[in-house]
Structure 1
């Protein structure tokens, strides 16, 4: 599950800065120090999380340029890069586990701090629309549909749209279940429907083809037609049988009269 951290206040030492960054899982994110060059006698520290775990350090005077891989769960292993000129920190190949609060401290003649709230969102799957044939009935004039996400995602919303208007939405942050949303449409409906799965930085859309999905459901409404056709076939067969029997009788009578 993605752990989201709210922007929090940082005590003012020499100045307080804040920033919020959102990226897609797998992309890289760079946290900038906003300095063009690190002063020779300054020390730069990068910390992560509520525990302020040290993950990177620069001390030009002592020739220290290091990143730390000793975070308990190893989430930063081989993923951190430092810019030796500006001190900016880059996290490569991000995962949702890199969501959190990052703190920059620049220690020199004065102490400057800055916080970054990083949000890493999982890549969204394309939603799938299927017809719910279990709800078909001969008396119904509508088609039952279900749109769902084939993968469980968090911080995402699944919505039905009619043109540009939202009809219904669902958002559940539970990775044990997948999102699904029903919709009822008339068979002859000419409106444009689409199912959209979105998060704050991306979306995936599937458009509804009523003629394709609802046609199958509509066919299920006509068992009576199949029955009538079967009855007609039986009647025709019976009539043909009667005609054949009558022809045989006429033939037998004709033979008898000839012999007489």
Structure 2
């Protein structure tokens, strides 16, 4: 199974910068978007009859938003955390026979960290939500998590220490999530790889020099580790200040339904 996640930073703009070419080339079973920045009716994507489309729009125009396009029929689709709505359109959860998929666009703490307290509280609610899902079935989480977890996840760790996306508090929340029974698929396969980034600022020549951050992830329930075939970053794909990240999984089987602490 082939899954893709991409923060498109405005889907209407990305469509004019090669979105369809990449989408058709990759042929993902499940394709997730963050930061679509549009409202219902503002775009009509022709993706083929095999894809079902699910959208979560932010109430604020031109802001946030997520979407999932899937060839696999979900059993159910949920917007927000449990029964509460998310006015910023940040979460879509699809339930399938063998797993849950959670597509998420994590709130940014803002440059002046004015939203850090909200971000940390949101992280706790999100982790609890994931653990509830994981008690039932394995979970695949993808999206822009707005944090560089380790120093090797950004080019200039020393210069960015304490900045939004690399505060100790945000990094600790990521560690806590992983310690709760989830695995960063890319780091699982490439524990020491550097210069692997998924986001670059819009400053001149930054992307050309690969001065970036890895803030886009595929996390999986730890018992899914044996099924990971590959996790990669398609850094050559343009169209956004983020690039797509990809997860390939082998066929699932009955071992997925073992208790959470069985494999790890």
Q: Give the helix-richer structure, 1 or 2.
A: 2
Q: Give the strand-richer structure, 1 or 2.
A: 1
Asked whether the two chains share a fold, i.e. TM above 0.5, the reply is no
In the superposition, the TM-score normalised over structure 2's length comes to 0.22
Report which structure shows greater RCO (CA 8 Å, sep ≥6). 2
Look at both structures and tell me which one has the larger radius of gyration over its CA atoms: 1
In the superposition, the TM-score normalised over structure 1's length comes to 0.23
